[in-house]
Chain A
């Protein structure tokens, strides 16, 4: 069974760096085609795709946030780390990590398993 869970600070000050960890189980990020994505959702608003990291360490980022985002594999094989620099109150949101969806024997860029999300508030 695939599970994911986000962890990190609930409150971050403006201009600081936000670091979140996604700890997952039920799959390996070394398996061909597997990827973990990050999506956020400001309170009461829609989902925003942020980026993802693939099994081969390739990454894709949202162009609008590319300069501020970094996604890496964690020191543990079952972790992915998300970093956002120079945060602003507009970055206040629930941040989700999610597993790249599978159709038959291939993976595609929908998300079939999601973490519960972690609410991050940016405020001084």
Chain B
């Protein structure tokens, strides 16, 4: 199985500041055939299901604010939230969809400082 790790476990950020979340996969999720990274990011607020934010490591899902951005390639990825809003308080998960089982990271909790 591909093991996904995230850092930090928890992150306190002031309103309007940047939040940066890291995700690492135990194997590369980059397919050379199409040069795509099979990596997605989700946001989960308390009592709600996860919401897809980003796929292909950097493609924002329709309707997701542009303050959310994804970057990285191979085994190392980053989710950046520019100008954190109160509504962004949530747990963020990365997921690799390169190889079954399509594993998730342990999550990073973002809260307001």
Contacts and interface: CB of A to CB of B under 8 A. Distances in A.
A47 B105 CA distance: 8
Label chain A's interface by main secondary structure.
strand
A108 B50 contact: no
Contact of A101 (B49, B55, B107): B55
A42 to B, nearest CB: 12
B106 to A, nearest CB: 5
A122 to B, nearest CB: 21
Contacts of B59: 103
A112 to B, nearest CB: 5
Label chain B's interface by main secondary structure.
loop
A63 B52 contact: no
Interface residues of A, number: 23
Interface stretch (A11-19, A71-79, A113-121): A113-121
A8 B52 CA distance: 25
B61 A114 contact: no
* A46, A48, A63, A64: most-surrounded residue (chain B CB, <10 A): A46
B56 A103 contact: yes
Interface residues of B, number: 25
B77 interface: no
B104 A48 contact: yes
Given A47-B93, A108-B97, A110-B40, A101 B52 contact: yes
Contacts of A116: 48-49
A17 B102 CA distance: 24
A46 B93 contact: yes
B95 interface: yes
A60 interface: yes
A19 to B, nearest CB: 20
Interface in A7-61: 37, 39, 46-49, 60
Nearest to B104: A47
Interface of A: 37, 39, 46-49, 60, 62-64, 96, 98, 101, 103, 108-112, 114-117
Interface of B: 1, 38, 40, 42, 44, 48-52, 55-56, 59, 61, 93, 95, 97, 100-107
Q: Which 6 A-B pairs have the closest CB atoms?
A: A109-B97, A114-B49, A110-B40, A47-B104, A62-B101, A46-B106
